């Protein structure tokens, strides 16, 4: 590839850098704006009188005495106990990813080795489920869940999220496994391995990129979900996103809006770490062909 | 500096907590519940949180009290009360939303419980439908005028008593260069916008339905007049008015852009405090009564109450426990310096502040209550979806009103109100 | 699994064909805090027997699908018969909620999807050509629009694009029009929603394309270079064909998601200017009186719409699977 780079004209290089710079500014600016603003008071963050207040803070010194304030973070994490929501989110996300991937890899492997055209029907199923607006699904679940006393508990939401996401996960993993040559496990079985041993010794070592990519998509879904968790969880079991929504509420109580802004920054932070950590895997996982089917 | 503030907040919070716990112990003795399950569903604004806390103080010793207060309460309360036994033993609702519960037949009449335990609840708090007590109200609300005292007095304008005067005042403020868009209004397409039409139509003396039936009857002179008045007002509003809900409108007044607005009584308190607005603006925000429009003699506003109900599909023990706990939730013991300003309480010992005068003036002015009809929710939705077309100039008033009626009839047919 | 997947679909289809029983409305006197007045209520005793006998409600077949809130067949027929000229006909049609929603949804889908593909591709190429040390931070900044919770993302953006917010003020300066507001007119609202849609989804296309670029066969690329192919020719004849399967994947997901556009309409309070089928469902289920059958019918129509939209992609996928089967 380096040879290709050598042949580029300076104009092209300049253009590429300018384009990339412009895109990164557009992509990241709202987040940095939010981050900066989360240390201000509401009157400055939503500064209807003059937008420069949001940068330099006009009301923040008047109301808090300092140029920056941690009130939003304090209010959200200490006063409103946002950590509970964070804990619930961790439970939900870990469970959803673990369950989706366990079923997904086993079933995906089996389906990929089957001679019948499952993958296509999985695709159709994934499609119908993704096409159905989540609010319709959730409204349908409400009545039976109340009836059977399942409403409000974390496991219920976990199962629903897994169910909504599973066809998609299965489809991705199946097409990923299809790209692992059949010869690999077949030769292992010729050598006297059982199906399961072939899976363990031959497939598991090479499947990680695809599994991690699929896992990241499930993780993002569970982490960012609002429709399911807002309607199916009771106040005590709330996850982070509905909790943020409840800071806003119908009647925005003073100060709570800044709790929401501070929480948004808090919620995005772990995702940064995850993306930084798994960035290589996302790329290599997709590369390995999970999505080419 | 920052730390002292946090410390102060903490100290304040613990003081409130201590006050709360002493109230709690006295309340517990007063609840008189033998046992049972209480589960509350309702909206999440501070006044309702206070009521739920009051009810929760009855918990203990075989009595379980829990609450689920969320902005999505209307999406889950019917489903949560349809099961047997119902998940929620009580729903906190307003006069507009009680009909959804009555339509599905999920709340019980309270006559027997009132006779047994509620003799001391003032008669005017008992909401009766067809002679049966269906809910107990605890707070009132209404929309009325809020204005900037300093600006109006500087220009020598009296606070407007009608929308016609409001237009004249707005023109004077604009001409004096005080503000480009002096009028504020919660005209966000959807529920807010429909509410403003309901106000304006009632102010013009309009009737929504043909006598006692679900047949719509808004495509008339009053309807056209109401729409035209709304359009005239929008000429003095921020051009983005179709995206402004009551939160945004209040913020505009705090920013010093809006000098006159029709606003919920419950939302003015936060505009007058020291947060969010420069001091010279905050202390000049004043309230007055509701405005008239045309010559019908009825103010262009609606009166609202919030109250609680008891679920039908629960055991008598739970119903009794719920009644007693909720009664405690709205007893004078919940009022203290902090909770006093949260609402216009209909509770003994409540002392109205200056900010509440608007709501009281609305009640005194002979305003009508928001219609408590089984099918009015459908009308409200239809209005909210169709009126924007008139205000953006896409169609004329008669066409818009015809569209509203058509949308309403479609929905009412589906629900079985019309055939 | 089957319970969660099959049951809701069956129940939604059933729900869309049944409506609540006819309600007996009686006149009553209601008393509240503010006095007594004449009102009406539903006579529960009168309908209870009917409800118990037929708990699903009354069967209405396709009535819900053809009523004014959905396909509006009779309204369309009347408009066709009565309006003089095609433009008058279209004006009448655009007054009906379903067709108005389709107009916006289809515009949104068919502008955002290709733009996301193109922008994502260029970002991927650009990121791929910078020194590898800088790639990590570039990837991570590029992903931000995708990972910020849309609920809050749109709230903050909504404020930024306000006439007095930073982006709004910048646009006013650029356009030289101090009264420019993105929220006040229908056309500018559409532009705003579309730009948001592209901004939000471009990172998704970027990640997938960037991954694809890593696997472009180097030997093919080098032999093309030796043959004297220009940079453009390399992209045209080597890179693009290699990325074609990924394009299908992104297009599939994007068409599906864009057709259900909902969050930006809510977040930007744009319902006065732009609506979508998903918005109708939300409206039907979120009102004070909930319209379950109407919401169910709209959901079925959404699925049908998505299926029609994806037909070309599906046919392609079917053939692909068939081919693989053969080997």
> Is B305 buried (19+), middle (13-18) or exposed (0-12) by CB count in 10 A?
buried
Rounded Cα–Cα distance for residues A59 and B153 (Å)? 27
Q: What angle do CA A221, A224, A228 make, to 5 degrees?
A: 80
The answer to whether residue C64 neighbours chain B at the CB level (below 8 Å) is yes
User: What share of chain A has pLDDT > 70, as a percent?
Assistant: 88
Q: Which residue of A has its CA nearest to B5?
A: A64
Distance from CA of B177 to the nearest CA of A (A): 16
- A7, A99: one domain: no
Which of B290-294, C90-94, C138-142 has the weakest average pLDDT? C138-142
- B181, B254: one domain: yes
ipTM of the predicted structure?
Answer: 0.91
Q: How many domains does chain A have?
A: 2
Confidence class of residue A154 from pLDDT cuts 50, 70 and 90? very high
- A23, A132: one domain: no
Length of chain B: 419
Distance from CA of B170 to the nearest CA of C (A): 19
* Subunit contact C23:B129, Cβ cutoff 8 A: no
- A81, A201: one domain: yes
To which residue do tokens 């909930």 refer?
C290
CATH 1.10.3720.10-classified regions of chain C = 103-274
Task: Output the pLDDT for position A7.
Answer: 58
Which chains lie within 8 Å of chain B at 3 or more CB pairs, if any?
A, C
Of residues A280 and A277, more confidence is placed in A277
Confidence class of residue C310 from pLDDT cuts 50, 70 and 90? confident
Q: What is the pLDDT of residues A210-261, one digit of tens each?
A: 788 788 778 888 888 888 898 889 888 999 988 888 887 666 566 678 888 8
**B341-378 b/e with 16+ CB inside 10 Å = b?**
bbbbbbbeebeeeebbbbbbbbbebebebbbbbbbbbb
- B175, B296: one domain: yes
* Subunit contact C34:B369, Cβ cutoff 8 A: yes
Assess if residue B23 is contained within a domain.
no
Interface of B with C in 199-258 (CB under 8 A): 212-214, 238-240, 242-245
Q: Which domain holds residue A11?
A: 1-27
Least CB–CB distance from C208: residue in A8, A279, A286: A286
What does the block give as tokens for C20?
């609540």
The answer to whether residue B188 neighbours chain C at the CB level (below 8 Å) is yes
Rounded Cα–Cα distance for residues A109 and A176 (Å)? 9
- B266, B353: one domain: no
- A159, A283: one domain: yes
Assess if residue A122 is contained within a domain.
yes
* Subunit contact C4:A8, Cβ cutoff 8 A: no
* Subunit contact B254:A43, Cβ cutoff 8 A: yes
Positive or negative torsion for Cα B185, B190, B192, B194: positive
- B407, B344: one domain: no
* Subunit contact A246:B254, Cβ cutoff 8 A: no
Rounded Cα–Cα distance for residues B122 and B130 (Å)? 19
Distance of CA B12 to the CA centre of its chain: 29
Task: Output the pLDDT for position B187.
Answer: 96
**C229 by DSSP, 3-state: which?**
coil
Least CB–CB distance from B403: residue in C28, C95, C286: C95
Q: What is the pLDDT of residues C30-48, one digit of tens each?
A: 988 888 888 899 988 888 8
- B147, B186: one domain: yes
What does the block give as tokens for A226?
């609002």
Q: What is the pLDDT of residues C276-306, one digit of tens each?
A: 999 999 899 887 888 989 999 999 999 899 8
Rounded Cα–Cα distance for residues B19 and B50 (Å)? 14
Assess if residue B25 is contained within a domain.
no
Average pLDDT over residues A182-208: 80
Assess if residue B175 is contained within a domain.
yes
- B137, B91: one domain: yes
Task: Output the pLDDT for position B2.
Answer: 38
- A108, A240: one domain: yes
Whole-model pTM: value is 0.90
Assess if residue B236 is contained within a domain.
yes
Confidence class of residue C72 from pLDDT cuts 50, 70 and 90? very high
Task: Output the pLDDT for position C140.
Answer: 81
Least CB–CB distance from B96: residue in C44, C268, C288: C288
- pLDDT tens sequence for chain B (419 residues): 334 333 333 333 333 333 344 444 444 445 888 889 999 999 988 899 999 999 999 998 789 999 999 888 888 899 899 988 999 999 999 999 999 999 989 999 999 999 999 999 998 899 999 999 999 999 999 999 999 999 999 999 999 999 999 999 999 999 999 999 999 999 999 999 999 999 999 999 999 999 889 999 999 999 999 999 999 999 999 999 999 988 889 888 988 899 999 999 988 888 888 777 788 899 999 999 999 998 899 999 999 999 999 999 999 999 999 999 999 999 999 999 888 888 899 988 898 888 889 999 999 998 999 999 999 999 999 999 999 999 999 999 999 999 999 999 999 999 999 98
User: Where is A177: in which H helix or E strand?
Assistant: helix A154-178
What does the block give as tokens for A33?
């704006």
* Subunit contact A33:C156, Cβ cutoff 8 A: yes
Q: Which domain holds residue B50?
A: 30-141+304-357
Confidence class of residue A267 from pLDDT cuts 50, 70 and 90? confident
Q: What is the pLDDT of residues B286-330, one digit of tens each?
A: 999 999 998 899 999 999 999 999 999 999 999 999 999 999 999
- A19, A84: one domain: no
Per-residue pLDDT for A63 more than 80? no
Task: Output the pLDDT for position A282.
Answer: 62
- A108, A13: one domain: no
Q: Which of B191, B257, B414 to mutate to test the interface with C (most CBs of C within 10 A)?
A: B414
Average pLDDT over residues A93-105: 93
What does the block give as tokens for B294?
């045309």
To which residue do tokens 């009264």 refer?
C179
Which chains lie within 8 Å of chain C at 3 or more CB pairs, if any?
A, B
Task: Output the pLDDT for position B29.
Answer: 47
Q: In A, which residues are within 8 Å of C136 by CB distance?
A: 276, 279
For the domain that residue A243 is a member of, what is the CATH number? 1.10.3720.10
Task: Output the pLDDT for position A184.
Answer: 78
Q: What is the pLDDT of residues C229-273, one digit of tens each?
A: 887 888 888 888 888 877 887 888 899 889 989 888 988 889 999
Task: Output the pLDDT for position A62.
Answer: 78
- B37, B109: one domain: yes
Assess if residue A183 is contained within a domain.
yes
**The last residue of a domain, from among B319, B334, B357:** B357
Rounded Cα–Cα distance for residues C6 and B416 (Å)? 29
* Subunit contact A127:C307, Cβ cutoff 8 A: yes
Rounded Cα–Cα distance for residues B74 and B99 (Å)? 11
Task: Output the pLDDT for position A138.
Answer: 84
Per-residue pLDDT for C158 more than 90? no
Distance from CA of A131 to the nearest CA of C (A): 6
* Subunit contact B72:A230, Cβ cutoff 8 A: yes
Confidence class of residue A143 from pLDDT cuts 50, 70 and 90? confident
Least CB–CB distance from B72: residue in A41, A231, A253: A231
State the average pLDDT for chain A. Answer: 81
CB A84 within 8 A of CB A150: no
- A110, A20: one domain: no
Least CB–CB distance from A28: residue in C141, C246, C282: C141
* Subunit contact A43:B2, Cβ cutoff 8 A: no
The answer to whether residue C165 neighbours chain B at the CB level (below 8 Å) is no
**C75 by DSSP, 3-state: which?**
helix
Of residues A73 and A120, more confidence is placed in A73
Q: How many domains does chain B have?
A: 2
Alpha-carbon Rg for chain A in angstroms: 24
- B243, B392: one domain: yes
- B264, B318: one domain: no
Assess if residue A250 is contained within a domain.
yes
Distance from CA of A85 to the nearest CA of C (A): 15
CB B81 within 8 A of CB B313: yes
Q: What is the DSSP letter of B129?
A: E
* Reduced 3-state DSSP string for A40-83: CCHHHHCCCCCCCHHHHCCHHHHHHCCCCCCHHHHHHHHHCCHH
- B280, B410: one domain: yes
Q: Which residue of B has its CA nearest to A67?
A: B2
Assess if residue A39 is contained within a domain.
no
Confidence class of residue C218 from pLDDT cuts 50, 70 and 90? confident
Q: Which of A48, A148, A259 to mutate to test the interface with B (most CBs of B within 10 A)?
A: A48
Average pLDDT over residues C179-199: 92
CB C152 within 8 A of CB A280: no
For the domain that residue B277 is a member of, what is the CATH number? 3.40.190.10
Q: DSSP H helical segments within A191-255, as ranges?
A: 195-198, 204-224, 227-232, 240-248
Q: Which residue of A has its CA nearest to B249?
A: A48
Task: Output the pLDDT for position A150.
Answer: 87
- B104, B148: one domain: no
- A18, A152: one domain: no
- B66, B186: one domain: no
Q: Which residue of C has its CA nearest to A135?
A: C282
Task: Output the pLDDT for position A202.
Answer: 79
**Considering the domain C103-274 in this protein, what is its CATH number?**
1.10.3720.10
* Subunit contact A48:B79, Cβ cutoff 8 A: no
Task: Output the pLDDT for position A201.
Answer: 80
Distance from CA of A27 to the nearest CA of B (A): 25
Per-residue pLDDT for C312 more than 50? yes
State the average pLDDT for chain C. Answer: 86
Task: Output the pLDDT for position B182.
Answer: 96
Average pLDDT over residues A26-50: 84
């Amino acid at each position: 590839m380096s040879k290709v780079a050598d042949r580029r004209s300076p104009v092209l290089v300049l253009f590429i850098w300018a384009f990339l710079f412009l895109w990164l500014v557009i992509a990241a600016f709202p987040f940095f704006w939010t981050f900066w603003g989360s240390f201000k008071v509401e009157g400055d963050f939503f500064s209807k009188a003059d937008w420069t207040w949001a940068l330099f803070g006009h009301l923040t010194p008047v109301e808090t005495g300092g140029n920056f304030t941690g009130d939003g973070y304090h209010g959200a994490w200490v006063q409103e106990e946002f950590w509970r929501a964070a804990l619930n989110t961790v439970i939900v996300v870990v469970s959803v990813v673990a369950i989706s991937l366990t079923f997904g890899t086993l079933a995906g492997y089996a389906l990929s080795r089957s001679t019948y055209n499952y993958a296509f029907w999985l695709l159709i199923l994934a499609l119908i489920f993704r096409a159905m607006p989540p609010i319709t699904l959730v409204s349908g679940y409400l009545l039976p869940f109340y009836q059977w006393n399942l409403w409000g508990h974390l496991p219920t939401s976990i199962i629903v999220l897994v169910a909504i996401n599973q066809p998609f996960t299965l489809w991705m993993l199946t097409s990923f496994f299809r790209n692992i040559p059949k010869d690999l496990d077949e030769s292992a079985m010729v050598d006297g391995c059982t199906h399961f041993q072939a899976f363990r010794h031959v497939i598991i070592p090479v499947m990680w990129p695809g599994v991690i990519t699929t896992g990241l998509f499930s993780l993002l879904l569970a982490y960012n979900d609002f429709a399911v968790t807002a309607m199916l969880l009771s106040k005590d079991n709330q996850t982070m996103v509905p909790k943020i929504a409840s800071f806003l509420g119908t009647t925005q109580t003073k100060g709570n809006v800044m709790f929401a802004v501070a929480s948004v920054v808090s919620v995005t932070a772990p995702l940064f770490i995850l993306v930084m950590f798994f960035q290589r895997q996302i790329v290599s996982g997709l590369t390995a062909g999970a999505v080419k089917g | 500096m920052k730390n002292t503030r946090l410390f102060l907040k903490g100290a304040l919070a613990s003081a409130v907590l201590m006050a709360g716990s002493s109230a709690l112990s006295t309340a517990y003795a007063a609840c008189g519940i033998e046992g049972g399950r209480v589960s509350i569903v309702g909206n999440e604004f501070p006044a309702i949180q206070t009521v739920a806390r009051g009810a929760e103080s009855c918990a203990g010793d075989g009595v379980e009290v829990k609450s689920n207060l969320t902005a999505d309460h209307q999406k889950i309360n019917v489903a949560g009360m349809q099961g047997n036994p119902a998940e929620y033993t009580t729903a906190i609702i307003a006069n507009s939303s009680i009909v959804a519960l009555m339509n599905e037949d999920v709340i019980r009449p309270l006559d027997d419980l009132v006779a047994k335990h509620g003799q001391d609840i003032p008669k005017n708090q008992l909401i009766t439908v067809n002679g049966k007590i269906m809910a107990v109200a605890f707070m009132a609300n209404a929309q009325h005028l809020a204005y900037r005292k300093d600006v109006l007095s500087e220009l020598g304008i009296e606070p407007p008593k009608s929308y016609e005067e409001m237009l004249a005042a707005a023109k004077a403020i604009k001409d004096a260069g005080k503000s480009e868009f002096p009028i504020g209004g919660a005209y966000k397409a959807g529920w807010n916008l429909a509410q403003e039409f309901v106000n304006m139509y009632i102010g013009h003396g309009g009737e929504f339905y043909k006598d006692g039936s679900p047949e719509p009857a808004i495509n008339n002179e009053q309807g056209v007049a109401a729409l035209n008045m709304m359009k005239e007002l929008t000429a003095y509003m921020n051009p983005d008015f179709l995206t402004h809900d009551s939160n945004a409108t209040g913020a505009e007044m705090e920013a010093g852009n809006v000098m006159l607005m029709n606003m919920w009584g419950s939302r003015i308190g936060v505009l007058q405090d020291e947060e969010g607005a420069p001091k010279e603006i905050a202390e000049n925000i004043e309230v007055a009564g509701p405005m008239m429009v045309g010559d019908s003699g009825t103010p262009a506003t609606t009166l609202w109450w919030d109250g609680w109900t008891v679920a039908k599909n629960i055991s008598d023990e739970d119903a009794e426990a719920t009644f007693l706990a909720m009664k405690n939730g709205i007893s004078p013991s919940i009022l203290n310096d902090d909770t006093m300003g949260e609402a216009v309480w209909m509770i003994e010992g409540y002392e109205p502040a200056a900010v509440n005068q608007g709501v009281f003036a609305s009640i005194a002015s002979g305003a009508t209550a928001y219609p408590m009809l089984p099918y009015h929710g459908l009308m409200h939705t239809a209005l909210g979806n169709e009126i924007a077309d008139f205000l953006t100039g896409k169609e004329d008033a008669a066409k818009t009103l015809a569209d509203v009626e058509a949308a309403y009839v479609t929905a009412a047919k589906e629900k079985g109100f019309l055939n | 699994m089957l319970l969660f997947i099959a049951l809701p679909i069956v129940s939604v289809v059933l729900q869309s064909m049944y409506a609540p029983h006819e309600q007996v409305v009686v006149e009553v006197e209601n008393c509240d805090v503010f006095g007594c007045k004449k009102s009406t209520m539903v006579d529960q005793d009168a309908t209870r027997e009917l409800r118990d006998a037929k708990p699903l409600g009354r069967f209405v077949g396709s009535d819900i699908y053809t009523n004014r809130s959905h396909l509006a067949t009779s309204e369309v027929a009347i408009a066709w018969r009565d309006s003089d000229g095609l433009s008058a006909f279209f004006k009448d049609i655009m007054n009906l909620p379903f067709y108005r929603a389709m107009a916006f949804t289809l515009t949104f889908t068919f502008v955002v999807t290709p733009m996301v593909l193109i922008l994502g591709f260029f970002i991927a190429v650009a990121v791929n050509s910078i020194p590898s040390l800088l790639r990590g931070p570039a990837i991570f900044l590029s992903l931000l629009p995708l990972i910020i919770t849309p609920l809050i993302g749109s709230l903050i953006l909504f404020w930024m694009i306000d006439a007095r917010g930073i982006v709004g003020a910048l646009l006013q300066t650029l356009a030289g029009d101090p009264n420019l507001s993105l929220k006040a007119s229908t056309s500018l609202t559409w532009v705003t929603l579309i730009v948001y849609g592209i901004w939000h989804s471009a990172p998704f296309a970027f990640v997938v394309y960037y991954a694809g670029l890593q696997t472009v066969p180097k030997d093919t690329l080098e032999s093309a270079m030796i043959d004297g192919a220009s940079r453009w020719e390399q992209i045209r004849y080597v890179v693009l064909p290699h990325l074609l399967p990924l394009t299908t994947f992104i297009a599939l997901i994007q068409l599906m998601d864009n057709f259900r556009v909902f969050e930006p309409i809510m977040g930007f309070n744009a319902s006065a200017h732009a609506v979508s089928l998903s918005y109708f469902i939300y409206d039907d289920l979120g009102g004070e009186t909930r319209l379950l059958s109407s919401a169910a019918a709209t959901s079925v129509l959404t699925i049908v719409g998505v299926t029609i939209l994806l037909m070309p992609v599906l046919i392609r996928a079917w053939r692909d699977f068939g081919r693989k089967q053969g080997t």
